[in-house]
């Protein structure tokens, strides 16, 4: 009997809530990888029921949380991907625009970051963080365009300007503070009283940061903000011109020594139908953080080796079909994020298992002997996980196909039954007159016999 979709969706929300709470706890402890793993577990649980509003809300929150965790871990490409995924599900959430702006700023894409912050301001005009982020971007753009001049900056600005350290902040890159604005932006006739109030305000903010540097961040990720400001009737911002693709994979090193023969052997190895369920494995990409550019570049490389037009090997057609499927799966940002989440979940599981053995008193060497080295254990776990998911998918497809076949057979049987009933009724109508005459003849003959 099929599970109730409503009950399943509620269970997904419950799983997501627990995963979010665990991720938040790990984040408070500074265990960023474990936080990402926890959030990823919740995301995977939600994706199958995303059509439900409650699940969609929970999924958006988890994506935002994971984006923030990636920001703190300096994984800016991943933070950007999660922020984009969050905005696809909740485009009017100002905080998600802030995540996106912070990731772009950390990547040095200041113009794009400014556009992201401005888009956020359009949907959430009361969000001070977005306004400050936009001002910081404008200040940096102005600074870079000035020849031989340097804009005065506070320590916060300096930290934000350094893209290698900006992700140390809990949320997005630290926006420029009031003291970082240019002298021209401050009214020359400001009174001493106003300056004193501003100074007191800054001191209060510094005291709050010292008490709990993650307070504002945890506030933000505990629950989705309600939309405080309705989107105003303003012209939509033009799409930002995408910057050149960024690569995180050393292609020359990973593809060194590749040729048509060894790649055909690798792609169509024993049990390849299960091994190739991991698209990164098919493309030979060792870093699952690979960007869309990396995926495309590797696809082109393999195409020059295993495409049927490039080699006469009879296996080329099958091998290229595997490469094509993997490429199409990883080109989509959402699909690529889901594959990453599975791999991250496997890594977290292996690390947790090793830590349990270490806590029980096993030495590192004994753990390696029992489970294999960390890389080997992770590789084995990832292959098993993808193969298991593929087996379940095939099983579900088979069950669905059998169910459809039974339904079709049942429908055909019912049609045949009603056709036979209809045929009998038509036959009764057609033979009614002849049967009536037969009965009349029989009755007349009986009456004649009685008279005699």
- Per-residue pLDDT tens digits for 248-264: 888 999 999 999 999 99
CA distances from 141 to 131, 251, 397 (A): 15, 33, 54
> How many domains, in total, are found in the chain?
2
Q: Could you tell me which of 142, 144, 155 has the C-alpha nearest to residue 184?
A: 142
Task: Determine which helix (DSSP H) or strand (DSSP E) holds 444, and give its type and residue range.
Answer: helix 374-451
394 shares a domain with 264: yes
* Last residue in a domain, options 106, 141, 176: 141
3-state helix, strand, coil in the chain (%, to 5): 75, 0, 25
The predicted-structure confidence for 271-299, as pLDDT tens digits, reads as follows: 998 999 999 999 999 888 889 899 999 99
**Residues 344, 37: contact at Cβ < 8 Å?**
yes
Q: Identify the pLDDT of residue 66.
A: 92
Domain membership flag for residue 201: no
Domain that holds residue 45: 7-141
Domain membership flag for residue 327: yes
Q: Identify the pLDDT of residue 275.
A: 92
More confident residue, 91 or 226: 91
**Residues 292, 247: contact at Cβ < 8 Å?**
no
Domain membership flag for residue 183: no
Domain membership flag for residue 435: no
Q: Identify the pLDDT of residue 200.
A: 58
Q: Identify the pLDDT of residue 341.
A: 92
Task: Report the pLDDT averaged over residues 13-18.
Answer: 87
Of the pLDDT bands very low, low, confident and very high (cuts 50, 70, 90), residue 443 is confident
Of the pLDDT bands very low, low, confident and very high (cuts 50, 70, 90), residue 339 is very high
Task: Please name the residue ranges forming H helices in 29-127.
Answer: 32-47, 53-72, 76-89, 94-106, 110-123
* Last residue in a domain, options 74, 108, 141: 141
The domain spanning residue 264 has which CATH number?
Answer: 1.10.287.110
Task: Report the pLDDT averaged over residues 232-236.
Answer: 42
Domain membership flag for residue 34: yes
Least confident of 182-191, 363-372, 422-431: 182-191
Separation between Cα atoms, residue 45 and residue 4, nearest integer Å: 16
Domain membership flag for residue 370: yes
Q: Identify the pLDDT of residue 328.
A: 93
Domain membership flag for residue 115: yes
Q: Identify the pLDDT of residue 246.
A: 73
The domain spanning residue 101 has which CATH number?
Answer: 1.25.40.10
The predicted-structure confidence for 110-167, as pLDDT tens digits, reads as follows: 888 898 888 888 888 778 888 888 888 888 887 665 544 433 333 333 333 333 333 3
This prediction has a pTM of 0.42
More confident residue, 214 or 103: 103
Q: Identify the pLDDT of residue 144.
A: 60
Q: Say yes or no to pLDDT of 214 above 70.
A: no
* Last residue in a domain, options 141, 176, 194: 141
The predicted-structure confidence for 394-428, as pLDDT tens digits, reads as follows: 899 899 889 999 999 999 999 999 999 998 988 88
Domain membership flag for residue 48: yes
């Amino acid at each position: 009997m099929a599970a109730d979709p409503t009950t399943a969706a509620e269970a997904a929300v419950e799983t997501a809530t627990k995963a979010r709470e665990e991720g938040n706890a790990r984040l408070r402890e500074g265990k960023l990888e474990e936080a990402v793993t926890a959030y990823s577990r919740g995301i995977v649980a939600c994706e199958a029921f995303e059509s439900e509003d409650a699940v969609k809300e929970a999924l958006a929150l988890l994506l935002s949380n994971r984006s923030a965790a990636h920001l703190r871990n300096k994984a800016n490409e991943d933070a950007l991907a999660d922020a984009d995924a969050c905005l696809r599900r909740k485009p009017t959430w100002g905080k998600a625009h802030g995540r996106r702006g912070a990731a772009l700023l950390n990547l040095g894409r200041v113009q794009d970051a400014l556009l992201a912050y401005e888009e956020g301001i359009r949907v959430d005009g009361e969000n001070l963080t977005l306004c400050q982020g936009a001002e910081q971007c404008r200040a940096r753009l102005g600074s870079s365009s000035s020849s031989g001049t340097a804009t005065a900056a506070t320590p916060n600005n300096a930290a934000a300007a350094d893209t290698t350290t900006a992700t140390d902040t809990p949320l997005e890159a630290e926006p420029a503070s009031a003291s970082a604005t240019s002298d021209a932006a401050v009214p020359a006739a400001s009174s001493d009283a106003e300056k004193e109030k501003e100074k007191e305000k800054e001191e209060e903010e510094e005291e709050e940061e010292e008490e709990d540097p993650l307070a504002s961040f945890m506030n933000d990720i505990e629950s989705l903000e309600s939309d405080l400001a309705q989107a105003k009737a303003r012209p939509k911002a033009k799409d930002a011109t995408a910057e050149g693709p960024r690569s995180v994979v050393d292609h020359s090193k990973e593809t060194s020594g590749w040729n048509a023969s060894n790649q055909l052997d690798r792609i169509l190895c024993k049990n390849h139908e299960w091994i190739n369920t991991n698209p990164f494995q098919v493309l030979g990409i060792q870093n699952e953080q690979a960007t869309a550019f990396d995926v495309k570049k590797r696809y082109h490389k393999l195409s020059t080796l295993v495409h049927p037009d490039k080699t006469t090997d009879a296996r080329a057609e099958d091998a290229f079909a595997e490469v094509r499927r993997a490429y199409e799966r990883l080109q989509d940002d959402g699909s690529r994020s889901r594959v990453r989440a599975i791999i991250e979940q496997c890594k977290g599981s292996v690390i947790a298992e090793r830590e349990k053995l270490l806590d029980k008193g096993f030495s590192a060497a004994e753990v390696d002997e029992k489970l294999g080295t960390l890389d080997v254990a992770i590789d084995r776990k990832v292959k098993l996980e993808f193969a298991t998911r593929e087996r379940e998918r095939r099983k579900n497809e088979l069950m669905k196909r059998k169910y459809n076949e039974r339904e079709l057979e049942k429908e055909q049987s019912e049609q045949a039954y009603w056709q036979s009933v209809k045929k009998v009724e038509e036959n009764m109508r057609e033979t009614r007159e002849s049967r009536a005459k037969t009965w009349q003849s029989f009755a007349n003959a009986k009456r004649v016999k009685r008279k005699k």
